[in-house]
Structure formats: structure tokens, C-alpha cells
Amino acid sequence: PNLVQEYLGRCLRDLQLSYVDLYLIHHPVGFEPCEEAVPVDAEGNVRLDLTTDHVAMWKAMEEQVDAGRAKAIGISNFTIPQADRILKNARIPPAVNQVEFHLYFQEKELQAWSKKSGVHLTAYSSLGSPGMVATLKSQGKIDKNKEFNPVTDPVVARIAKAHNKTPAQVLLRHILQLGAVVIPKSTNPERMKENLQVFDFELTNAEMSELNALDRGEQGRIFHLPSIIKGYDKHPENPYPKL
């Protein structure tokens, strides 16, 4: 908690800003403070901070709002019990919970909790992160035989053709109609424009039902961090189930 202000201050200096619109706790699992994104020991295990206290950290996040350094604060990759614990102890509730969310991994229980609690869901990897999937497959960190690319799904292609839209636009529209926010990543200006063109059509109830039925539950998850970051699952707040 005592490092929240320091790290936000670094972000503000790097961005040359006096405040950010939204500041998130990226993971419920704490790492030892360091300059690297993921600190590791000589054996390649992540160096964990096993004293992670979500409520204390949230109090420090609230102080950033009080000071005007953040307009809103939120969480990322938190489970329902973890998010609920913060919500029950919060003076300023989390604005969002940013999680992996796409056609094959629809987080249906978390969807329901979010609508009830008012903590909005933000979907990362909303198009299935095909580039990252290819990298992780090449590193042997996810199953090479598993198909994770919803952009190539035949049901999505058929619905896209019916609306004269791209598969990516259908995938984004599906998540929007489920009530979540989407933040698709692209470095291509044309695709960025395309990703914004999702407000001039609506999927029918039948199409939504078809797409909802393609959820694979836990089998559809791409980013199972204990499989990607060695030793991650040793933390008591590890949010990922065993495979």
C-alpha cells in the first residue's frame, strides 16, 4: 500500500500528466517491488509478496482520488470473492474490473455479479489475442492443438455476413450487448476505425443466443498465469483454478 502513490507518480511523470482518468490494481497477486514488470529469482520463479492486503491497498488507491491524481480507480483479474471484499470495505467503489473476456470465455458468473454490484466489466483480449496466442504456443505455455481464435469462428463469420460487418465487429458488438466495455488492441489505423464502427447495428436475440452458446468456460481461457509465470500459483490470492 505504501508504494501506490510512488508508482502512480512514476506513471504521471512518464506520461507528463497531472492525473489519470483510471488507475487499476493490475493483479490480485503481489510481486516484490522492483524495476522489472515480473521479478524472478535464479530458478525463474516469480518473486512474490505474500503479504498482499487488498483492503489496505484499496485505501491507498482511494487516497489517489482524494488527491486528484486519479479520477477513477478499479481492479483487474479479480475473482468475485476478491472484488466483493474490496467493495464491502470501500469508501470509493471500484469503477471497473478488467478481465479476460471474449467469445470463448464469457465469465458468466462474473457478468451477473458485476450487474448486481455496479462494478463494470471491462473486456481485454476481446478478439482472442491471436498474436499473443501464437507466441504462447511457440513457447509451449498453452496447448498447441487448442483453437482460441474467435475471429475465424464459422458462426461469427455467418452473422458478420448477414450484417455486412467484419467478424471482429460482431465479436465486439456481442460483448457490448452483454453489458461489458471492450478495449480491443490494434496498431493498425484502419482496424482502429473499424473497431469503432459497432454502434450502427444490433445483434438479434437469436444471434446473441448462438454466440452465448459458444462459451467454453474455463477451457476457453487464454491467459492462465500460473502456466505462463512460474510460481504465480504459490501466492495465497492466486485467482486461477488448477488445470
Known binding positions for substrate:
54
Query: How many Cβ atoms are within 10 Å of 143's Cβ, its own excluded?
Result: 13
Within 8 A by CB and 6+ apart from 19, the residues are 12, 68, 69, 70, 71
Annotated binding site: 54
List, in sequence order, every residue forming a beta bridge with 48; answer none if it has no partner.
31
Closest residue by Cα to residue 215 from 178, 186, 185, 166: 178
CA dihedral for 125, 128, 130, 135, sign (positive or negative): positive
Q: Which helix (H) or strand (E) holds 59?
A: helix 54-66
